Amino acid sequence: MNAHAKMLVIYIDETDQWESRPLYEAIVRRLRQLGVSGATVTTGVMGFGAHMKVHHKRLFGVTDDRPAVISVVDDEQTIRRVLPEIRGMVKEGVVVLLDAEVIEPDT
């Protein structure tokens, strides 16, 4: 059975901070505390945002500031409940809310 859901996607920089810890870590930990089903953080190889600064690997694979994306999928009620708090944590970046369809594995 396929279920309708919402997908929250948060685009930030890997070096963004929240109370002396990485912002991506603070967001994931807070989402867990708030009872969200799950969240995944991925880092990008290259990207740019509103400041038009290109983030990418430099010499020897060292990066200056990689983009990070946090993906969250849950029911609409849960996502809308946590959204105001998460938006308050993201000072720079983009927060996107999408319609999603969860595809259950065949059993």
Domain limits, the chain: 2-102
**Which tokens in the block code for residue 5?**
């859901």
2-102: CATH class: alpha beta
Task: Say what the pLDDT of residue 69 is.
Answer: 96
Decide if pLDDT at 2 tops 70.
Answer: no
Q: pTM for the whole thing?
A: 0.85
Which has more pLDDT, 54 or 99? 99
At 52, the pLDDT band (50, 70, 90 cuts) reads: low
Summary mean pLDDT of the chain: 88
At 65, the pLDDT band (50, 70, 90 cuts) reads: confident
